[in-house]
Structures are given as structure tokens and as C-alpha cells.
Amino acid sequence: MKSNRFSFAVTSIFAVSILAGVIFTGCIGPRVVRKSCIDCHQNELLKYKEGKLHQPLAKNDCEGCHIPHGLIGALKLKAKDAKLCYQCHEKDRARLEKAPLHTPLTEGICLKCHNPHSSKLKGLAKAAGNDLCYLCHAKEPFTKNTVHKAVLEGCDTCHDPHSSEHGNNLLDKGDRLCAKCHDVNAGKFVKAHFDYKVADTNCLSCHEPHSSSGDKLIREYSHGPFGQRKCIECHNASDSKEPLKTKAQADKLCYSCHTVQENGFKKPHVHSPVLKGDCTSCHNPHASDHKNELVLAEKQLCYSCHKDTEKRHTKKFSHTPIAKGNCSGCHEPHASDNQNELKAMGAQLCYSCHNKDSFIKAITHAPIAQNNCLPCHDAHASDYKFELVSPLGDLCYSCHSQEKKRFDKVTRHPKVKEGACTACHNPHATEEKKLVLSKQEELCFKCHSNLLDRIGPDGVHSVFKKGKCLVCHDAHASNNTKQLIEEGGGLCYGCHKSTKISLGIAKYLHKPVVEEKCVACHMPHGSKIKNFLPRPLKGLCLFCHTEFEKSLKEKGVVIHKPIDDGDCQKCHATHYANERGLLKAKGDTLCNNCHQNQSDMKFTKAHNNISTKDADCLGCHEPHIGKDNRLLHNIMHAPFEKGECKRCHEKL
């Protein structure tokens, strides 16, 4: 027995060993070789090979820049922007980061100019020559009537495409750079400058370095004497000891011609450069690309001194003159009778652009009436639309603080909640009281016109039809739903006074009337159904009287005709009555309204010749539903059930 067990154990171990070997061998399997990028991106490679390949791509080393992706394609780089390029171009880093930098380098985006894979052009450039520069720089300023030869030869004649020690990425200081092509001491050159030797002067004070509308690359706007080539009017003679020196100090020299302006500058508020007699801090005495020979575009010129103002102008919304760079739209650049050199004071300045008629109406907002726009608007820039000094709602409450307290209620008009006061009010002036945008009858319908669409032309509540919304609603806020002035029937009784009086003397009231829930049965604005009902009468009544709804659906029942017609009001009063069940009349008087044939033999015979005058019909009949046409009660007195009425009643 032990021998058999031993044999079985040995056999089992041998079998398990073989199985494990098979499994182990199967797990190793053939080695999986990962595809290279080129295996999938053959089309891209063929396209790239049309030009000179970027070194990593030439070595099929895509992973020099890219992180491999899986089955789902994705662009994953080892580093972002210039940091990736510097992994190989580290030796160029110090040179390429020398300030000032070309804008793409400042942003660290080498690919604005270079193709990362291949190009037919030197340096893997994206475009040839100046066309590369025109990818960012507008072409028009470089292609005017007279074009600088250096521009035609290529931008890199004067500019370093990456970085430079000199402004605008120039290869050298301005006048020295010009002298590399122009022999400033040559007789022809000196003669062209009216025998003045201009070496070591700023060539760009007269000439445009790229292209110009006129000849000689002279800038667009010329100072009078310069335009007439009468240098002698301001400078000493060319053969004098100091030929380039001016004949007098700047302001005195300027006023020798601008006498009218000199007198005009004698005002209480004078711009600082004028006060210092430093005309050339703003004006180029020779030529400029800017009107009035300004040394810079107007806004940049102002910012060169007003640094704090420049920071304030970075806000989201700018006054139109600021957006257009037109500071002189509001400020006199030299002198003024008004503070801050303004052209006019208060709203009068604003009216020079904004139509005054829009602000002069029957009802005017207090700041406008006081000729002062600045309590609400910033004159320059703001983070809020229309250059408001604060968010609209907060701005209004800064004066209307009592209204803010009054509007702090349970239900607020959506526009009040949003602080959008101008949805209903004109912030400046209007012909309507309280500065509302239009007549009260029209104002609410500007937003709530859809309410009219839901109502038939003949079913509109009179106050709603007349646009008298404020009879029921508070325009701003209320502690009641829908901004109602009052909850419940009290609001309705304000107009429906006779109904309220009748309710006070009636014995029985409809439950919604008792609870003052008029809107349980009536639409407050109107309805396509008579009496402003929200649904046909039968469905409306059954919405509350659910016990009848189930009975009406039973098979084989007979329904009283008024019920079947959906005319519950045939028998019942809708608001109040002096009879139980809100019946309109007592007993047979009510029934006789329809059953006016009591003297008819057929009617008399049906009642076993018993008189029904002054009888209570409901003593025998169901008022709503029955099992047969007689609408008799389900449970009947035995003699009545057998038709033996004479046992109790006399004959006619």
C-alpha cells in the first residue's frame, strides 16, 4: 500500500514539473520589437526629406525631441519651447539670451521662425528673407514709395534675428551702423546735408530706416524749416565753429516763430515740459512719423512720463480716446484754463463727443444734472463695462443706500439680484419718472412679452393688459412670492371689492376662497379660457375633487348632463353661496332650471303621480353619477325601491 502511494507521488511530481516547464516556455515566447517612429510616419519623412533635415531627424533620433506615444497619437515633447532647443544648442544660449531679445526669443518660441523638422532654407527658416519677418511684422511700413536699400538686401543687414546689445536688435549703434554703408565724410554726402557735417549724429531724427512716402527716406511729417531745407533758421551756419548748435535755447528758439502759441500757453495750468521750456521732449525739431512731429506715437509719448497712468490703462475696458491713443482728445497738450490741462470741465468735456441731447431730458440723473460724469465713470479705464468705477449694482447703491436695504427681501427681481439696474432704468436721462427706460405700460413687456403669447386676445386680466404690473407686483423686491405686494386674496380684493363684501355675508365659501388661494382656480395674468381659468372647468374642479374623477371612469355609470358637459357652474357657485355644497338654489328650484316640465304627464308618472313641488330632489337622486338614467341613490328605502310610494305619499 505504501509502495503504491510512493509511486503515485513520484508520478504526480514529474507531471507537474513537465506542465510547469511548458507554461514557463510559453511565457517567454518570441521577443516583441518596438516599431520606430519612421515605421508609421513614412509620409511625413518623405515630405521632410525635400529639404535639409534637422540633425536629430537626420539621425532618425525622433526621441531626441519627442516622448514616444502609444497606440493613440499625441504630441509629447521632452521640454517646452526654447528649453527643448537649448538641450542641443546650449553653446548658443548665452548669445541668444543677451538682452534685448527678439520677441519670439523673449517668449521662448523658436518655432515662430524655425521649422523643427526640415527646411530648404538656411537655419531651417520657415520663409525666405524678409518674408520670414513679415510672418509677424506688417509688410506695409516696409514697402512705401522709397525703400531703404538695406531692406531690399534683407532685414539681417541691420538686425540680428536673435539678440543684440543694441536697441531693436541692431547690429551696432544707430549712426555707426549707418556709417558702415554711407561714407559720412564724402563730399557728396556732406553736400546732400547742406554742408553740415552730420557724423556722430542721430540719423533717425530725420530719416526713416525702412521706407518712406517721400524721397531721401525723410519721415512722414517735417518741421517747417526742415521741410523747406532752411537749416540756417534754427542752426548756426555750416561754416561756423559750432554749426549744429541752435541759435537759441529750445523754447526761445521755438517761440521766435510760434509767438501765437507762446501767448496761448500763458494759462493757469501748463504742461510740465512747456513750463520747463523743453519743447523737444515731445516734438522732433526735424521730422517724425507722427503728426505734429511728435517723437513717439501720442499715447506712448504720454506714457514715457506718466508711467502710473499706463499701468491703470491696462484694465479691461478703455475710454475710446485711450483705446485710440488720443490723449489730446480730452487734454490740451500745452496749457489750459482747467485742472489737468482738460479742454473743458465736467460733462461739457464729455459732450464734445457724446451727444448732449441724450442727456438733457425731463428727468435727469443727479450726477448729470450736476454736470459731473466722474462719480460713475472713470475717465480713462476700468475693469467694468462703460468704464464704470465699480460694478453696476454696487455703483448705484453707493448713492441709493436706502434702496439697498429695502431690496434686501426674500424675493428679488432677477435684474435687482444681478445688480443690472440699467435693464429698467436709464443711467443718464429719460422722459419717464424714476428714469425708467419707457412707459410703465411697455417696460415690463420688454422682457415678459412671452406672457402675452400664452394668453388669448380676449382673456387678458385688465391690469395686465394695461401694463399696470405694479398694482400687484413690487418692481424690485418683496417678502412674497413673485414679488407680490401682498399674498393671498387680500391682493385681489384691492380691485374686486364687491366680491369681498359678498364673501362676508355668505354662509358657505369655496375652500380656495377660505384659504385665499385665488390662483388655485384663476391665472393671474389671463388665460385662453373664460374667467382666466388655467384649464377647462371640468378638469379644474376634478383636480381637487378627485373622488369624482375615479367614479367618472367606471364602466356603465350614467353621468348627470352638467357634469358630462363639464359645466359644474350650472349647479354650483364658484366662490360663495347660501346653500350647502355651494348650490346656487335650494331643492327643486335649482333643478327646475333644467327640468321645467313638472306638469308634464310623463314627468308626473315617473314620480308615481306624487307632486315634486318644494321637494328635495337630492333625497332620491344622485347629483353627479348614477347606475341608470334616473340617477337614483344606490341604497333605497324598501317601499321606494318597490315603487310603493303611496304607502307614504298622497296622490296628486
Q: What is the pLDDT of residues 275-324, one digit of tens each?
A: 999 999 999 999 999 999 999 999 999 999 999 999 999 999 999 999 99
- Which amino acid, 345? M
Q: pLDDT at position 12, please?
A: 47
List pLDDT tens digits, range 429-470. 999 999 999 998 889 988 988 887 778 777 889 899 888 999
Whole-number Å distance between alpha carbons of 452 and 465 = 9
| Amino acid, single-letter form, for residue 415 | K
- The confidence score (pLDDT) of residue 5 equals 45
Q: Which candidate, 101, 104, 166, places its Cα nearest to that of 132?
A: 104
Tell me the C-alpha distance between 429 and 420, whole Å. Answer: 17
Does residue 639 or residue 427 have the better pLDDT? 427
Rounded to 5 degrees, φ, ψ at 317 are -120, 130
Residue among 281, 285, 237 nearest 258 (CA): 285
23 vs 291: which has the higher pLDDT: 291
Are 317 and 384 in contact, with CB atoms under 8 Å apart?
yes
Looking at per-residue confidence, does 421 or 42 come out higher?
421
Cβ-based neighbours of 104, under 8 Å, separated by 6 or more: 110, 112, 113, 136
Whose CA is closest to 154, among 126, 125, 132, 173? 132
Most confident of 47-51, 105-109, 131-135: 131-135
Task: Determine which of 6-10, 206-210, 212-216, 551-555 has the lowest per-residue pLDDT on average.
Answer: 6-10
- ω into 243 cis (within 30 of 0): no
Helices (H), 37-171: 37-40, 42-48, 55-58, 82-85, 90-96, 103-106, 130-133, 149-153
pLDDT at 298: 96
**51: buried, middle or exposed (CB in 10 Å: 19+, 13-18, 0-12)?**
middle
Confidence bin at 33 (pLDDT 50/70/90):
low
According to the model, what pLDDT value does residue 602 have?
A: 82
> Residue 396: how many CB atoms within 10 A of its CB?
21
Cα–Cα distance between 636 and 645 in angstroms, integer? 12
Strand pairing report for 335-336 and 269-270: antiparallel
Residue 283 or residue 603, greater confidence: 283
Per-residue confidence at 344, pLDDT binned at 50, 70, 90? very high
Size of the chain in residues: 652
Contact 418, 393 (CB under 8 A): yes
Averaged confidence pLDDT in the chain? 89
Write out the three cell numbers for 571.
349647479
**pLDDT number for residue 287:** 96
User: Three cell numbers at 607?
Assistant: 314620480
pLDDT score of 10 more than 90:
no
Nearest residue to 328 via CA among 288, 280, 271: 271
The pLDDT, as a whole number, for residue 200 is: 87
Whole-angstrom distance, CA of residue 82 vs CA of residue 104: 10
The DSSP string of 383-419 is: SSGGGBSS-HHHHHHTT-HHHHHHT-SSEE-HHHHHT
pLDDT at 361: 94
pLDDT band, very low/low/confident/very high, at 605 (cuts 50, 70, 90): confident
How far is Cα 9 from Cα 424, in angstroms, rounded to an integer?
97
Q: Are 435 and 425 in contact (CB under 8 A)?
A: yes
Question: What pLDDT is attached to residue 589?
Answer: 87
What's the rounded mean pLDDT across residues 507-533?
93
For CA atoms 103, 106, 109, 111, the dihedral sign is positive
Separation between Cα atoms, residue 77 and residue 306, nearest integer Å: 43
Q: Which three cell numbers stand for residue 501?
A: 363684501
CA geometry: angle at 290 spanning 287 and 293, to 5°?
Answer: 45
C-alpha 338/C-alpha 352 separation (Å) is: 15
pLDDT above 90 for 516 = yes
Whole-angstrom Cα distance, residue 580 to residue 510? 11
CA–CA gap between residue 486 and residue 492 (Å, rounded): 9
Q: Report whether 323 contacts 387 (CB < 8 A).
A: no
Vertex 512 angle, CA 510 and 514, to 5°: 70
Cell of 160: 540680428
For the ranges 156-160, 371-375, 449-453, 555-559, the lowest mean pLDDT is seen at 449-453
Mean pLDDT of 225-244: 93
**Rounded CA separation 133/155 (Å):** 8
Percent of the chain with pLDDT over 90: 69
Residue 13 has pLDDT above 90, yes or no: no
Look up residue 244 and give its three cell numbers: 549744429
- 275 is written with which cell numbers? 513750463
Q: Are 333 and 398 in contact (CB under 8 A)?
A: no
Q: Looking up cell 509620409, which residue turns up? A: 43
pLDDT in tens, 165-174: 898 999 999 8
User: Residue 638 has which C-alpha cell?
Assistant: 324598501
- Which tens digit of pLDDT belongs to each residue from 77-116? 999 989 999 999 988 888 887 788 999 999 999 999 999 9
347-391 pLDDT, tens digit per residue, is 999 999 999 999 999 999 999 999 999 999 999 999 999 999 999
At 595, the pLDDT band (50, 70, 90 cuts) reads confident
Lowest mean pLDDT among 39-53, 210-224, 558-572: 39-53
Nearest-angstrom CA–CA distance, 197 and 189: 9
Strand pairing class (429-430; 269-270): unpaired
324 grid coordinates: 485710440
Q: Is 129 left (phi over 0), alpha (psi -120 to 50) or beta?
A: left
